[in-house]
Amino acid sequence: MIHHGGTEARRKLIHEELTDQVIGAAIEVHRELGPGLMESAYEECLCHELHLRGLNFQRQVPLPVRYKGINLDCGYKLDMVVEDALILELKCVEQVLPVHEAQLLTYLKMTGKRVGLIINFYVPILTRGIVRRVL
C-alpha cells in the first residue's frame, strides 16, 4: 500500500500511541481498585492517572444534538475526551452490548473524532472489557 504524504499514517500512529497510554492508565486503575465499584469512582481515579501521565482531558463534555441545522441540548455528555482526540465511554456493566458500541460510533460521528474506547471496569481482566472503534 502506498501512503501519499504520510499524514494519515502519522495521525493513525498518534491515536494508537494515545490509545495505548489510556489503556495502560485504565489497567493501572483496575489493578488498584478491582471490579465492582461505581463508574464515578473509576472516572475519578482514571482522571488522576491520566493527570499523572501528563495527558490532557475533559470530563462530562456536553454533546449537543444537531438537528435540521440547529444544536439542541438533549442532555448527552461524553464521559471523557483525551487530548481532544479520543472519546472514552466508561462502563460498569456485565457485558458491553451492541447498543453501547452504537452509542460510541454515533458520538464519534457527531463530534468528528476518529477514535473511541469503551472501557468496562466490571470485568475481572480489564483487557477483556475494552472495545476500540475507529471511524
Identify whether the C-beta of residue 85 lies closer than 8 Å to the C-beta of residue 117: no
The helix or strand, by DSSP H or E, that contains position 21, with its residue range, turns out to be helix 7-33
Domain presence at residue 21: yes
Q: Tens digit of pLDDT for each residue in 64-115?
A: 998 999 988 888 999 999 999 999 999 999 999 999 999 999 999 999 999 9
Instruction: Say what percent of the chain tops pLDDT 70.
Output: 90
Q: Tell me whether residue 1 is in a domain.
A: no
All 3 cell numbers of residue 8?
494519515
The whole-angstrom separation of Cα 39 and Cα 21 is: 20
pTM: 0.86
Can you give the CATH number for the domain in which 71 is found?
3.40.1350
Between β-strands 70-72 and 77-82, what pairing exists: parallel, antiparallel or unpaired?
unpaired
Residue 101: domain span: 7-134
Question: Which of the 8 DSSP states describes residue 67?
Answer: E
Per-residue model confidence (pLDDT) at position 3: 42
| Dist. CA 115–CA 104, nearest whole Å | 9
- pLDDT at 1 > cutoff 50: no
- Compute the average pLDDT of residues 116-133: 95
Domain count, the chain: 1
Residue 2 lies in a domain: no
Q: Name the grid cell of 35.
A: 471490579
With 0-12 / 13-18 / 19 or more C-beta atoms within 10 angstroms meaning exposed / middle / buried, residue 21 is middle
Can you read off the three cell numbers belonging to residue 110?
Answer: 457527531
